[in-house]
Chains A and B, each alone.
Chain A
Amino acid sequence: MRKYFEIAKILFKAQLVYRFDVFFNALFTVAKIVFAYIVWGVIFESNTTVAGFTLSTMLSYYVISSFLSQIEMSDGITGEISGRIRDGSFSKFMVIPSNTFLHFLWQNIGSTLFYMIFNFFAAVIWIFIFKIDFALTTDIAIIFSSLLLISLGLFFMVQLSYFIGILTFKFKNVWLFNLIKGNIAAFVTGSLVPLVLLPMGVVDVMKFFPFYYVTYLPSMMLIGRNIDEFIVGIIVLSIYILVFIIINISTYNFLRKKYDGVGI
């Protein structure tokens, strides 16, 4: 276990080199809040509530969901695995004494923790700049429940990104899969618009998929809504996580035989 902590520590420190990326990541958090402020500010000029949201709760939702979507950085795993398989340097992960999935998971944890600090401050500063009446729940149990959901959700996204990454063994180039996954995930996780605005039937279908519980449900819980969905969220995410553990192990063991170690 200690070696994985070391991997996380190295990646945490390595982010210091990529200052511009860190700056832009935080700027994206801010940009999402600013555009939510512009669009919803206009909408709430002629409406007092929309789907049960006031302007304050809507902006609070965007602050939390923007923060969560920016710390969901598993895309990098797909990029690195794909790049390394293509240039032949993936061989390293087959010979070092660490589990490949855990290696990428802890790399992701290390870099995410670093970005989390800056994104957190970016979000907090803009709460004060926009004078948002931040509607965060004060119930400690709900906050911890949300943190549990967030952790499981991020873990699931790492699994999904890892799965797309190792598909490079078979498909040679997975950038298109990754791009499509990223665009769809942005919508179905509720980081573009709260899912409660969608027709009820669509939302009910979304509850069968894990994305609903990655960003949307924790954000809603943190503003004091949808608390009753917590247990369902834990169950659904746990099932998907277990399924993907099996899928990832079997896919990796099957496809790694196609890798010849000299790049594509």
Chain B
Amino acid sequence: MRRNLRFIWILFKLKLSHLMVFRLSFFGAFFADGILFLIQLLVFSAIYGNVDMIGNWNQAQMIIFIGTFSLINAISMVLAFFGINQLPNKIKSGALDHYLTKPISPLLRLSFESIDLGSIPLIVLAMVLIAYGISISGIILTFTSVAGYIVLVILMTILWYDVELIIRTIPFFVVSGTAITRVEELLELCFRVPGILFKGVYKIVFYFILPYGIMATVPTQFISNTITTWELAYGVGIVLLFTVFTIWLWRFGVSHYKSASS
């Protein structure tokens, strides 16, 4: 464990040196995601300017929801997104060889070699928004609700990482995986819709098959005291299930890796 942490620290320092050279790229993710964040806020503010509730959520809950998914998104951007985003190209070009032959976990290196500090301001913005949402909602915070919320945000960030990695392991099994980012672009639309709005077949799809529907919804429901024990258990269970499946799929994919030009 200590060895892995030291390795992540070295990767972080290397990335920092790299970012100092390309300063525009440093804040690229922040600008891009920051604007998406503001637009999402404007969209729901426009809707709430005309209606009191969406489903059984008021505006304060929606603000917490937007803050939560922005937080999960930003944490993912800072830590692992830009690393695993390169996986399809590394599989296609054979560059994954360099990861598999080193005496360190290839997935660990791949995940943390492109840490992006440019999204840290977005984490701060998201936290301010969550605090604002809580303040206008009248929710009384307790140690348990704050701690539980933090744990759920961490779990949901892991779930998002799992789904991102699952999508990017597809090139292990197909000839070309260049369209994968387009698939994800489409799927992430679901992440921006509160899970409580899904019904029928959509609920099955976005709560179980592609669990984008629960990622920001479960922590929001938890902190606003509207979650049932069953929903909480389901949220945690899905994270465990997807994490086990992701690890298995990664290993299975690596065993199918045919090196350069595969």
Residues of A bordering B, CB below 8 Å: 20-21, 24, 27-28, 31-32, 35, 38-39, 42-43, 46-47, 50-51, 173, 175-176, 179-180, 183-184, 186-187, 192-193, 197-199
Contact = CB atoms under 8 A, between A and B. Distances in A.
A42 B179 contact: no
B43 A187 contact: yes
B182 interface: yes
Contacts of B50: 50-51, 197
Contact of A176 (B24, B47, B49, B54): B24
Nearest to A52: B50
A28 B198 contact: no
Nearest to A28: B186
A176 B198 contact: no
Interface string B181-216: 011001001100100011100100000000000000
Nearest to A37: B202
Given A43-B54, A193-B47, 13 more contacts: A24-B186, A28-B186, A35-B190, A38-B199, A38-B202, A39-B54, A46-B51, A176-B28, A179-B32, A180-B31, A187-B43, A197-B46, A198-B49
A180 B51 contact: no
The main secondary structure of chain A at its interface with chain B is helix
Given A173-B24, A176-B24, A176-B31, A43 B179 contact: no
B55 interface: yes
A186 to B, nearest CB: 7
Contacts of B190: 35
B186 A187 contact: no
Contacts of B244: none
Contacts of A198: 42, 46, 49
Interface residues of B, number: 28
B44 to A, nearest CB: 9
B35 interface: yes
A76 to B, nearest CB: 14
B39 A39 contact: no
7 contacts: A24-B179, A27-B186, A32-B189, A173-B24, A180-B32, A180-B35, A187-B42
Given A176-B28, A179-B32, A183-B35, A43 B186 contact: no
Contacts of B36: 183
Contacts of A28: 186
B53 interface: yes
A193 B36 CA distance: 14
B32 A183 contact: yes
A42 B54 contact: yes
Given A42-B55, A42-B197, A183-B36, A31 B47 contact: no
A41 B198 CA distance: 10
Contacts of A192: 39, 43
B54 A38 contact: no
Contacts of B28: 175-176, 179
Contacts of B197: 38-39, 42
A68 B100 CA distance: 46
Nearest to A199: B49
Nearest to A198: B46
Contact of A184 (B35, B54, B179, B186): B35
A187 B51 contact: no
Contact of B47 (A179, A180, A197): A197
Nearest to A184: B35
B24 A43 contact: no
B46 A176 contact: no
Contacts of B32: 176, 179-180, 183
A193 B43 contact: yes
A4 B55 CA distance: 52
Contacts of B183: 24
B39 A43 contact: no
B257 to A, nearest CB: 23
B53 A46 contact: yes
B167 to A, nearest CB: 14
Contacts of B198: 38
Nearest to A175: B28
Contacts of A186: 39
Interface string B54-75: 1100000000000000000000
Contacts of A179: 28, 31-32
